[in-house]
Amino acid sequence: MAIKFMGSFATVADLPHHGTIREYAFIGRSNVGKSSLINSVVGQKIAKVSNTPGRTQSLNLFNMDDRIWIMDLPGYGYARVSKDEQLRWLNRLEEYLINRVELSMLFILADARHGITELDKIILDFVSEERVPHTVVYTKCDKKGAGKFDDGVITSAEKGTGIDKIRVMLV
């Protein structure tokens, strides 16, 4: 599998377009394990993993085999940035979700130890209202305190749990 980093984009308008390639985006609260999950799904270390919440601040786009695009979206919630910057991130996210015609599926990540948070509910309500195709993915299911869930995909990037279920969705 050939994976190419296409770039970090500051705005939705800067993103490239393609009429036939499907795009799959990953989003979640800061420190939910998004980069680790993306790396497990594609089988390579393409997304930068950090212990500092809020590290991903751009729209990071990857090309897999000229077949699909993977979008690593900035996390929401805790980040050491100003309220104005957080508002800009949310506005950019809203613009992306409403206007990105290439978007085939949004994977909304939630930490299995905490379940769906209030911020996650806001995102879920928004994408449901806007009819954005989405799937809830619970991360870190192997960690102490992880709950049991009847909906979504239960995953562990560390142990590979649920990774094949996500790969199947990348068609």
Summarize pLDDT for 43-92 with one digit per residue, the tens.
999 887 755 554 557 899 999 999 999 999 988 875 566 778 777 878 89
Among the ranges given (8-17, 82-91, 96-105), the one the predictor scored with the smallest mean pLDDT: 82-91
Return the HEC string of 85-107: HHHHHHHHHHHHHHHCCCEEEEE
Mean pLDDT of the chain: 90
Instruction: Note the pLDDT of residue 31.
Output: 85
Got the DSSP string for 147-161? ---SSSEE-BTTTTB
Summarize pLDDT for 102-125 with one digit per residue, the tens.
999 999 999 999 999 998 999 999
Q: Residue 131 CB: number of other CB atoms within 10 A?
A: 7
Side-chain half-sphere of 57: how many Cα atoms within 13 Å? 13
In degrees to the nearest 10, what's the CA dihedral of 123, 126, 129, 130? -110
Rounded alpha-carbon distances, angstroms, from residue 42 to 2, 68, 72, 146, 163 = 10, 11, 12, 24, 9
pTM for the predicted model, two decimal places:
0.91
Report which residue type is found at 59. Answer: L
Domains of the chain: 3-169 (3.40.50.300)
**Comparing 80 with 9, which gets the higher pLDDT?**
9
Instruction: Note the pLDDT of residue 51.
Output: 55
